[in-house]
Structure 1
Amino acid sequence: MARPRKCRKVCSLPENYGFAPMKGIDDENRVVMAVDEYETIRLIDLVGYTQEECAAQMHIARTTVQGIYNEARKKLADALVNGKVLYIEGGDFALCEGESVLCGKKCEKFCCKKRKMENIPKEM
């Protein structure tokens, strides 16, 4: 029996829900990145957190962060190298309701019911 998934805390939803190559948008040939994958890229690559710090921020294990991060990097590479449209949507996550030192918000308190971000307008 598989372990139940822990809540993956996300500080805020992305401002942009997708990116497209400058040359020939082919919506059929696309890559979909989940919100928790986006959050690991943001925390590790943009903010400069270690995987341990990222795991603490998201309230999940470091090994889980490592797996999410590796998948996110593969998706980014596929979109960049192969000129695919990248959408950021879906996934199970908990959006924090407080503030955090990390993102200028206090993230100590967050709603632990899992959310699915679906049907987001795809504006590019």
Structure 2
Amino acid sequence: MARPKKWRKVCCLPKQNRYGPLMGGRMAEESINMTIDEYETIRLIDLEEFTQEDCAKQMNIARTTVQGIYNSARMKLADSLVNGKILLIKGGEYELCDGLEEFCRCGGCHKHRCAALLQQEREKR
């Protein structure tokens, strides 16, 4: 029997999910798909300057898994930049965290949930 997949905790979703060249008529088949969990490793390690160990704790996965995800994400970023391909960020095996994680520093969880609640309140009025 196969081991069940472990959902990766993600703090916040990207504000934009499509990146690419401003000029040129690249076709849709020349796009690269980066998963949300790959995006999260790039955000945590490169932007937030987490170690791979801290990133693993935040995402609730093994450090070796983080290393594999991170390497895959870096290859996709490089391919997009060097070859002018469209980068799409979507999918993956993830769940949004509740904002209570010890290492959560972006505040994105809380901000996004508060913004969603405010929007729901406005829609009720």
Common fold by TM > 0.5: yes
Per-residue deviation at 1:24?
A: 1.1
> 1:64 and 2:65 equivalent?
yes
In the other structure, the counterpart of 1:15 is 15
> Do the aligned partners of 2:11 and 2:109 also contact (CA within 8 Å) in 1?
no
Could you list the per-position Cα deviations for residues 10-62 of structure 1 after superposition, in whole angstroms to 9, with x for gaps in the alignment? 00111010101122142220000000000000000000001000000000000
- Residue identity over aligned pairs, in percent, reads 60
> Do the aligned partners of 1:20 and 1:86 also contact (CA within 8 Å) in 2?
yes
Secondary structure at the counterpart of residue 32 of structure 2: strand
Structure 2: any 5+ residue segments left out of the alignment?
Answer: 111-125
Instruction: Name the one with the larger helix percent.
Output: 2
Residues in 1 aligned to 2:90 and 2:20: alpha-carbon distance in whole angstroms: 15
Divergent runs of 4+, >4 A: none
Structure 1: any 5+ residue segments left out of the alignment?
Answer: 108-124
> Do the aligned partners of 1:32 and 1:87 also contact (CA within 8 Å) in 2?
yes
Q: TM-score, normalised by structure 2?
A: 0.78
Q: Output the aligned Cα RMSD.
A: 1.7
Q: TM-score, normalised by structure 1?
A: 0.79
In the other structure, the counterpart of 1:117 is none
Paired positions, count: 107
> 1:6 and 2:6 equivalent?
yes
Structure number with bigger Rg: 2
